[in-house]
């Protein structure tokens, strides 16, 4: 899985590209160069904890999801003891892909080629006609595992051999979101977006509402663009809250669309946090929206957006998840459109970095964090 990186790439990193005093957007190469993209894969996406889903997707023993991670395919599966495992989707016999579907349930993982069979814990439990092979021991051929961890109900994977424990990585966020009951929430909808823009543009876009009056007229009516107050201003986790007008909700109708997810102290606030490098977490009083970002090339990003609600909300008459989903699908598309416009302009020979406004301190902080990860 190692990516061949040419040594000269080391020269790309210039922390001075974004300093706090003289903050400007990043140079063109960070958005278009395949060498930078390869370096990001190596130094960020093969090193950091990546959001791959929520535990509600694999509630029962044998439930699995298959997630593509940087050209790799990972099986995320729950075993009979309730433990969540991550396995490379690669047979230990002659390497075949094991599971072709995106999700499902199985009693064991059986290879479609010669039927080697693995338990839910990854141990090889069946290998037809291998008994007469000298020195062959099934115990020597478990599935190759990847690091996985669960935080607040969300499943993360890390392809580094010895990553920092997930809990330690997320220490600055410990207990911060407990009111939202995220471990027990249930998904109501997933929408995938294929966006023709560099993944960093979506992080920068998410981190400011300077663009909101023009780009999001509907959002702006319910949540004033200049109401942002950030409490995490530097580092891998960034964001804060914005106000929601009294009695309103971020839905098409403007009304709350479900029972609240927990004991939310202030119903006039929506919280937005970016969690480096691939998670956007949006916490509303009655739902949690989460985006996964998966860079496909310098100019293309797959975005997976999930909406999660309290399990009790689903059985109530006031449950109208589509009211929130429609609102954010519209708002997401408004954002992706300007990200695509940015990509087009940044790729021009006329582009040069422009100055960030005082309302873009979080995008500037995100850029600093990103540049710090490149070797
Ligand atoms: S490649 Fe999987 S059993 Fe042969
Ligand atoms: Fe936006």
CATH 3.90.380.10 fits 19-46+178-373, yes or no: yes
Q: How does residue 70 score in pLDDT terms, banded at 50, 70 and 90?
A: confident
More confident of the two residues 162 and 12: 162
Residue 21: its pLDDT value, please? 60
Instruction: Tell me which ligand sits closest to the C-alpha of residue 228.
Output: 2
pLDDT digits (tens, 9 = 90+) for 263-288: 998 999 999 999 999 999 999 999 99
**Whether the predicted pLDDT of 7 surpasses 50:** no
Residue 229: its pLDDT value, please? 94
**Cα 33 to Cα 227: distance, rounded to the nearest angstrom:** 36
**Cα 247 to Cα 25: distance, rounded to the nearest angstrom:** 37
Q: Which protein residues touch ligand 1 with a CB less than 6 Å away?
A: 91, 93-96, 111, 113-116
Overall size of the chain counted in residues:
375
Alpha carbon distance, N-terminus to C-terminus of the chain:
19
**Whether the predicted pLDDT of 94 surpasses 60:** yes
Residue of the nearest CA to atom 4 in ligand 1? 114
Distance 126 CA to ligand 1 centre (A): 11
Identify the CATH homologous superfamily for domain 50-169. Rieske [2Fe-2S] iron-sulphur domain (2.102.10.10)
**Given ligand 1 and candidates 114, 117, 126, which is best to mutate, with the most ligand atoms within 8 Å of its CB?**
114
Distance 99 CA to ligand 1 centre (A): 12
Residue 360: its pLDDT value, please? 96
**Whether the predicted pLDDT of 4 surpasses 90:** no
**Given ligand 1 and candidates 91, 109, 126, 128, which is best to mutate, with the most ligand atoms within 8 Å of its CB?**
91
Structure tokens at 285: 């009083």
**Average pLDDT estimate for 220-224:** 95
Distance 113 CA to ligand 1 centre (A): 5
**Average pLDDT estimate for 240-252:** 97
Q: Where are the domains positioned within the chain?
A: 19-46+178-373, 50-169
Residue 10: its pLDDT value, please? 37
Instruction: Tell me which ligand sits closest to the C-alpha of residue 216.
Output: 2
Instruction: Tell me which ligand sits closest to the C-alpha of residue 242.
Output: 2
Query: Chain-wide mean pLDDT for the chain?
Result: 94
Residue 20: its pLDDT value, please? 56
Q: How many CB atoms lie within 10 A of CB 112?
A: 11
DSSP state of 22: T
Residue 71: its pLDDT value, please? 87
Residue 12: its pLDDT value, please? 44
Q: How does residue 302 score in pLDDT terms, banded at 50, 70 and 90?
A: very high
pLDDT digits (tens, 9 = 90+) for 314-329: 999 999 999 999 999 9
Whether 19-46+178-373 and 50-169 share one fold: the answer is: no
Residue of the nearest CA to atom 1 in ligand 1? 94
Structure tokens at 84: 């969540």
**Whether the predicted pLDDT of 212 surpasses 90:** yes
Report the DSSP beta bridge partners of residue 242. 270
Structure tokens at 223: 């949540």
Residue of the nearest CA to atom 3 in ligand 1? 114
CB 216 within 8 A of CB 328: no
Residue 8: its pLDDT value, please? 36
Instruction: Tell me which ligand sits closest to the C-alpha of residue 212.
Output: 2
Percent over 90 (pLDDT), the chain = 93
Q: Torsions phi, psi of 351, nearest 5?
A: -70, 135
pLDDT digits (tens, 9 = 90+) for 324-362: 999 999 999 999 999 999 999 999 999 999 999 999 999
Atom of ligand 1 nearest to the CA of 92: 2
Q: How does residue 375 score in pLDDT terms, banded at 50, 70 and 90?
A: confident
Percent over 70 (pLDDT), the chain = 94
pLDDT digits (tens, 9 = 90+) for 130-175: 999 999 999 999 999 999 999 999 999 999 999 999 999 999 999 9
């Amino acid at each position: 899985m190692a990516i061949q990186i040419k040594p000269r790439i080391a020269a790309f990193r210039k922390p001075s590209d974004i300093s706090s005093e003289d903050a400007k957007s990043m140079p063109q190469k960070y958005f278009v160069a395949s060498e930078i993209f390869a370096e990001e894969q190596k130094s960020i996406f093969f090193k950091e904890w990546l959001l791959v889903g929520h535990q509600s997707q694999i509630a029962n023993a044998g439930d699995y999801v298959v997630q593509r991670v940087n050209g790799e395919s990972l099986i995320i599966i729950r075993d009979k003891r309730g433990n969540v495992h991550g396995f490379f989707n690669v047979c230990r016999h002659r390497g075949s892909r094991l599971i072709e579907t995106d999700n499902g349930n199985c009693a064991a993982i059986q290879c479609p080629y010669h039927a080697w069979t693995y338990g839910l814990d990854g141990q090889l439990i069946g290998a037809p006609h291998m008994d007469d092979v000298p020195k062959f021991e099934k115990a020597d051929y478990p599935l190759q595992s990847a690091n996985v961890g669960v935080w607040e109900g969300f499943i993360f994977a890390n392809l580094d051999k010895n990553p920092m424990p997930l809990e330690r990585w997320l220490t600055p966020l410990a207990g911060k979101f407990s009111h939202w009951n995220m471990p027990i929430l249930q998904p109501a909808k997933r929408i995938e977006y294929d966006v023709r823009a560099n993944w960093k543009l979506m992080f920068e876009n998410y981190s400011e509402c300077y663009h909101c009056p023009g780009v999001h007229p509907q959002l702006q009516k319910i949540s004033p663009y200049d109401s942002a107050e950030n409490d995490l201003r530097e580092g891998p986790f960034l964001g804060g809250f914005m106000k929601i007008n009294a009695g309103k909700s971020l839905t098409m109708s403007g009304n709350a669309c479900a029972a609240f997810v927990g004991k939310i102290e202030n119903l006039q606030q929506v919280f937005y946090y970016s969690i480096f490098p691939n998670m956007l977490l949006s916490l509303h009083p009655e739902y949690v929206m989460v985006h996964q970002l998966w860079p496909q090339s310098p100019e293309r990003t797959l975005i997976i957006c999930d909406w999660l609600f309290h399990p009790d909300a689903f059985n109530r008459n006031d449950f109208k998840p589509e009211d929130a989903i429609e609102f954010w699908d519209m708002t997401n598309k408004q954002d992706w459109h300007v990200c695509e416009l940015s990509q087009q302009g940044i790729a021009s020979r006329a582009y040069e970095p422009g100055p960030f406004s005082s309302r873009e301190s979080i995008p500037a902080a995100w850029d600093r964090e990103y540049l710090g990860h490149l070797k």
